[in-house]
Amino acid sequence: MSSSIENHKTVPEQFTGYAAFSAETWSDLKLHKFTPKPFGDYDIDIKVRYCGVCGSDLHVLRSGWSPSIYPCVAGHEITGEVIRVGPLVTSSSLQPGSIVGVGSQAWSCGGCDACAGEDIGTKPGDGKDWGAAGEHGHGGEKGLRGGKENYCKEVVETYNWRYKDGSAGYGGYADYVRIHENFVYPIPEGIPEEIVAPMFCGGVTMYSPLRRANIGPGSKVGIVGIGGLGHFGILFAKALGATVTAISHSPRKAADASALGASQFLSTAAPGWNAPHLRTLDLIISTNFSTDMPLGEYLSLLKVGGTLVICGIPEGDLPRLSWADIAAANLAIRGSNVGSKKEIAEMLELVKEKGVKSWVEVVGMKDVEDVVKRLDRGECRYRYVLKADFEE
């Protein structure tokens, strides 16, 4: 925990970040002052220190999935120092000076089936945990529950989303972020911020399907695509005790896959690449963003009853499949979207216990334009992390 504690008066009324102003100029990120949502009783102001650059940032900046809200300040892999907390924030680990992280989610309703489950919130749920209904979007009849709140139908994402009062959310390509306490995570001591920052989206996106599949010693897991997400898939599957097969169209990724912890590497560029490995894997997680990915060949690698989880989200439709690709071996295809609060907390403990380390390149935030262009060209190995340098 940092020893510096700043008075709330040092938090400016307007924050400053690097924003895109249209889909056509998505990579021309310019300094922009913006007004965050009104400060609520359960809100936390965080001075950004590091922010990972996620592949989904590029999709949003260029309106790849749907029309984005401009000006758009991206970034949802954030670490920083707590500067101000709302009067009803009582957690001792979320106080001025605490070093914390923020992921892709800023709010959920707290009362739907997805949010319900084992109570892992900061306090019992009486409705007030989330603020009165309509107050900056913090409605809901129950406090935070430890279920699948990342699938809440009323979810508010960290940026490119609006709260119920119409306020826009802004991300971590900025000097400060303002987030409800329920989606701010204390970072265990000893974990470097620049290493953990990209785990708050990219990391948990891969940890969650592994955890939900109960992956552990004896499990055989395939990771498709050895990029930013895929490298986390190998790291976390290995940390959980699984035997990992890396699958990529690029043979040059073989050495990195081995260094990350994969026991086997399959290149999809080779004719008949899948034939010697039919029905050998319990779980496959695909990070492939291509609309012409060989889904049928991926499925052929699964054991009877196996599951393919799609974590890469193309800007188009998935390839067509034959019913036989699924029915012949009782296979399942599932989607996955980041992870729950409980999974993030578990992931952080695993990172500390096993010494899991992201492969990152740290770059000053002033160079964010160059960074997003380099990521778009596929030059990253394997995550870019921006270091806030507004005061330099």
Tens digit of each residue's pLDDT (9 = 90 or more) over 316-375: 888 888 889 999 999 999 999 999 999 999 999 999 999 999 999 999 999 999 999 999
- Contact between 126 and 81 (Cβ < 8 Å): no
Q: Given pLDDT bands bounded at 50, 70 and 90, which one contains residue 91? A: very high
Largest Cα–Cα separation, the chain = 65
Q: Using 50, 70 and 90 to split pLDDT, how confident is the model at 9?
A: low
pLDDT mean over 138-145? 34
Could you identify the residue written with the tokens 């699938």? 151
Ordered by start, the domain boundaries in the chain are: 15-108+155-201+339-387, 205-335
Does the domain at residues 205-335 carry the CATH identifier 3.40.720.10? no
Q: What is the CATH number of domain 15-108+155-201+339-387?
A: 3.90.180.10
Tell me what the mean pLDDT of segment 144-162 comes to.
Answer: 87
Write b or e for each residue in 220-231: b if 16 or more Cβ atoms lie within 10 A of its Cβ, otherwise e: bbbbbbbbbbbb
Q: Which residue has the tokens 């989606």?
A: 183
Cα distance between the two ends of the chain: 23
Q: Compute the distance between CA of residue 230 and CA of residue 259 in angstroms, rounded to an integer.
A: 13
Say how far apart CA 53 and CA 385 lie, in whole Å: 6
User: Which residues, listed in sequence order, are joined to residue 352 by a DSSP beta bridge?
Assistant: none
- Are 312 and 333 in contact, with CB atoms under 8 Å apart? no
Q: Stretch 79-85: mean pLDDT, rounded?
A: 98
328 backbone dihedrals φ, ψ, rounded to 5°: -65, -25
| pLDDT given for residue 192 in this prediction | 98
**What pLDDT shows up at residue 116?**
83
Local structure of 198: helix, strand or coil: helix
The pLDDT-based confidence of 136 (bands split at 50, 70, 90) is: very low
Query: Which pLDDT does position 117 carry in this prediction?
Result: 62
Residue with tokens 């740290």: 362
185 half-sphere exposure, CB direction, 13 A CA radius: 31
What pLDDT sits at residue 146?
54
**Complete DSSP assignment for 136-153:** TT---SS---SS-GGG-T
Q: How far apart are CA 36 and CA 320, in angstroms?
A: 43
- The secondary structure element, H or E, covering residue 7 is none
Q: How many residues does the chain have?
A: 392
Contact 146, 121 (CB under 8 A): yes
pLDDT given at position 8: 52
Q: Average pLDDT for residues 159-165, to the nearest whole number?
A: 96
Chain mean pLDDT for the chain: 90
Chain position carrying tokens 């996106």: 205
pLDDT at 24 over 70: yes
Token pair of 252, please?
Answer: 């040059």
Q: What is the pLDDT of residues 254-287, one digit of tens each?
A: 999 999 999 999 999 999 999 999 999 999 999 9
**Given this chain, do its domains 15-108+155-201+339-387 and 205-335 carry the same CATH topology?**
no
Work out the burial of residue 336: count CB atoms within 10 Å of its CB; fewer than 13 is exposed, 13-18 middle, 19 or more buried.
Answer: middle
Reported as a pLDDT band with limits 50, 70 and 90, residue 315 is confident
Report the b/e string of 244-269 with b at 16+ CB within 10 A. Answer: bbbbbbeeebbebbeebbbebbbebe
Indicate the helix (H) or strand (E) that contains 202.
helix 202-212
| Cis-peptide, bond into residue 71, ω within 30° of zero | yes
